[in-house]
Structure 1
Amino acid sequence: MTAVETGVRARTRRAILDAAIERLTKQPNASLADIAAAANVGRTTVHRYFPERADLIDAISADALEKVAHATSRARTDEGTATAALTRLCQEYFEFGDLFMLIFTMPDLLTREEWQEESEDDRRLLRLIERGHGEGTIDADMPAAWVQSLLWSVLYTAWEQVREARMPKHEALTLCLRTVAKAVTP
């Protein structure tokens, strides 16, 4: 396979994944044919990349975990104050609202083994929160696991507000960051 063929395959795969995320977020029972139409490819093309719906779900799950890893890395959780790093992390995660809304609302995704195990990214977030406890920038009476759940809950609320067209994205992000900051401040 040439580099051009590999690039075309990667772009087609990405288009199918993006269309699947967008479509399944709005219609969880969307068929592979619906996803093919949303990706502007034929149904046989979708089946070539993802023979079964389960294969597509596997790919979405792996894509989400990869995006979390990249976002966590971009947030530079070891730099600056813990609250500044937590703000950067919220901003990074916020960009993947559709993907996370899909993960949180599709039981066959959230109950998968890879989502049940604590990942290195989870541990980085917990270490960040514990660092904030130590430096006095995050309320030490709030356990790290509580703050972690709080972060995901507030992000979910922000994404839901955007998805339901109740709020512009920038406003939802601003309120998300403000809520997290106020909640964790000692």
Structure 2
Amino acid sequence: MRADAARNLNAVLRAGARLLAEDPSTSMAAIASAAGVDRTTVHRRFASREALLSAVFQAKLDSAERVLDEARLTEAPVPVALHRYVEAIVPVSREWPVDTRRMMQQDPEARVRREEQSARLDAFIRRAIDEGCIRGEADPTWARAVLDQLVDTVAHKFHDMKPPQAADLVVGTLLGGLGAES
């Protein structure tokens, strides 16, 4: 793909993610305008808004996959892996604000990929409990829901917070609030 075509595609995907998160009925013309490209450029690449949305979902999943891989959830010490994960997933959440629940309902391939990623996080939470970083009596489902909500809150309600600070806050809250008693 030519460099200008790649830039245009990237701009369309990011504009689409932002605008479709705000209003799922956003027109392709509005997305093209926000991306700074001609409407025909968008239509040439995506036959419909649903096709564009599917590409946005895949881009978000690709980014999340890289974050999970780089966090080293199975090898690094739990607090380190958790910090790496949060520090890297916050920018992904901000860059690709489309709702994961919507993604899972509308795109079967995205649902499978998201479930695989979710299983990796579930295993990490179980590891955190097994290693005593989270109290043993803590419900893993609850701990995971708390992690997800903390990440969502810091990513979307504290826009000015830098990712390293966001990670410090989330890790401190999760491990301090659910941490093993001394």
TM class by shorter chain equals 0.7 to 0.9
Q: RMSD value over aligned CA atoms?
A: 2.3
Matched AA of 1:59: A
Percent identity, aligned pairs only, is 26
**5+ long unaligned stretches in structure 1:** none
TM-score under structure 1 length normalisation? 0.81
- In structure 2, the partner of 1:184 is 178
Residues 152-183 of structure 1: CA deviation (Å, up to 9, x unaligned): 111111123135xxxx2225554333322323
Distance 1:28 1:54, change over 3 A: closer
**5+ long unaligned stretches in structure 2:** none
Matched AA of 1:169: M
Residue of structure 1 aligned with 2:7, choices 6, 11, 26:
11
3-state DSSP of counterpart to 1:79: coil
Residue of structure 2 aligned with 1:120, choices 116, 122, 136:
116
The answer to whether the Cα contact below 8 Å between 2:57 and 2:98 also exists between their aligned partners in 1 is no
Residues 17-54 of structure 1: CA deviation (Å, up to 9, x unaligned): 01111223344432111110111100010001111001
The answer to whether the Cα contact below 8 Å between 1:101 and 1:156 also exists between their aligned partners in 2 is no
- In structure 2, the partner of 1:66 is 62
Which whole-Å CA distance do the structure 2 matches of 1:140 and 1:18 have between them? 41
The answer to whether the Cα contact below 8 Å between 2:105 and 2:111 also exists between their aligned partners in 1 is yes
- In structure 2, the partner of 1:34 is 30
Distance 1:180 1:132, change over 3 A: same
Residue of structure 2 aligned with 1:109, choices 103, 116, 121:
103
Which whole-Å CA distance do the structure 2 matches of 1:184 and 1:83 have between them? 13
- In structure 2, the partner of 1:77 is 73
The answer to whether the Cα contact below 8 Å between 1:20 and 1:35 also exists between their aligned partners in 2 is yes
Which whole-Å CA distance do the structure 2 matches of 1:86 and 1:172 have between them? 12
Which whole-Å CA distance do the structure 1 matches of 2:97 and 2:139 have between them? 25
Matched AA of 2:169: L
TM-score under structure 2 length normalisation? 0.83
- In structure 2, the partner of 1:49 is 45
Distance 1:108 1:135, change over 3 A: closer
3-state DSSP of counterpart to 1:73: helix
Matched AA of 1:111: Q
Deviating beyond 6 angstroms after TM superposition, the runs of 4 or more aligned structure 1 residues are: none
Residues 126-164 of structure 1: CA deviation (Å, up to 9, x unaligned): 22222222211122222322222211111111123135x
The answer to whether the Cα contact below 8 Å between 1:71 and 1:93 also exists between their aligned partners in 2 is yes
Distance 1:159 1:109, change over 3 A: same
Residue of structure 1 aligned with 2:161, choices 146, 151, 169:
169
**Pairwise CA distance, 1:100:** 5.2
Which whole-Å CA distance do the structure 2 matches of 1:90 and 1:58 have between them? 25
Matched AA of 1:175: L
Report which structure shows greater RCO (CA 8 Å, sep ≥6): 2
Distance 1:116 1:143, change over 3 A: farther
